[in-house]
Amino acid sequence: MPKTDTRRRLLQRGIQLGGFLAVPAVAEAQTAAAPRRPAPANETLKVIESLRTIHGDFTEARVPDDKLDTILDAAVRAANASNMQSYSIVVSREPDKIMKLTGYRGPCLLLFCADHTRIADVARRLGRPFNGAGMDSFVTSSTNTILAAQTAAIAAKSLGIGSMFTNGIHRGDMERVWDLLGLPQQSCVPLIALILGFPKSEPPYRTGRLRGPGIVHYERYQRLDEKQMDEIIRQHDDPSQHLALNDDWRKSYKHYLDWFYADWLGRFKPAPGEGPMFRRLKKSGYIDGQSG
């Protein structure tokens, strides 16, 4: 199809969508092979579009019981390998405990754990062997767990409840998470905490996202060329894109990503040898696969 026809189709589609596809030139710039043609927004997409993290500034308002039940029902509807639901969700409504676990205060916590305990227990009850808790099943179980967690966040938002994912549970002495919640030592690893609640205030903008080259690949993976890398660096410097975590970098760096790699990621340098996460995965049996 000639390029002018593609452009006309995009323009017509943009008009049909009432401006949803606002700038056809941007759509064309994505890639010549796959111009963007987003479908019209619906209620589900609007909820997903409205997702944003409440960075710890929760009010003390309680998440209603019926809404929490609905969120949990939605979470377990997520796809999961072999319909085995190799995860568990620990709910806490104690703000002090939530603070100790995650480093953040909020009215309700859903802790999503990769977990084979229930599955192994039922196998034992039947006198059946269960050998499914090695590294491979940890990866599959992590996928199941995270799909359930994101489904919970979307369900919550659809009910007017905000949320914050945090891996604060992995900071400091991780053993406290097992101690405070009585988690099984083997075959159970908390992956992500989802704090639910209501924000004290709404920010003036949502955090931006990259969408083009390097994120989405059509048919074949394409490494970025230098021009595309420079464009990503530029987008992070552009305040209107809201990709930056903060503005501090402007004082000492030329680019936001200079600050990000040097100062932000620099803080998370892995310790030499086996770190606490590796040791925990070993203890859980997921690394050498000897639990079950």
Ligand X SMILES: Cc1cc2nc3c(=O)[nH]c(=O)nc-3n(C[C@H](O)[C@H](O)[C@H](O)COP(=O)(O)O)c2cc1C
CA angle 133/275/282 to nearest 5° reads 20
What is each CA distance from 59 to 12, 119, 157, 200, in whole angstroms? 45, 37, 16, 5
**Is 16 among the residues that bind ligand X (CB under 6 A)?**
no
Q: Using CB under 6 A, count the residues that bind ligand X.
A: 12
**Is 168 among the residues that bind ligand X (CB under 6 A)?**
yes
Binding to ligand X in span 173-232, by CB under 6 A: 192, 206-207
Q: Which stretch binds ligand X (CB under 6 A): 31-39, 158-166, 175-183, 258-266?
A: 158-166
Looking at the DSSP assignment, which residues form a beta bridge with residue 164? 195
| Residue 253 zone, left/alpha/beta (φ > 0; ψ -120 to 50; rest) | beta
Binding to ligand X in span 39-58, by CB under 6 A: 52-53, 55-56
Tell me the C-alpha distance between 215 and 21, whole Å.
Answer: 20
Closer to ligand X by Cβ: residue 53 or 140: 53
**Is 260 among the residues that bind ligand X (CB under 6 A)?**
no
215 in helix, strand or coil?
Answer: coil
Least distance (Å) from ligand X to the CB of residue 192? Answer: 6
Least distance (Å) from ligand X to the CB of residue 55? Answer: 4
Least distance (Å) from ligand X to the CB of residue 123? Answer: 31
**Is 167 among the residues that bind ligand X (CB under 6 A)?**
yes
Cβ atoms of 111 and 169 closer than 8 Å:
yes
Lookup result for tokens 């074949």: 220
**Site residues (CB under 6 A) for ligand X?**
52-53, 55-56, 164-168, 192, 206-207
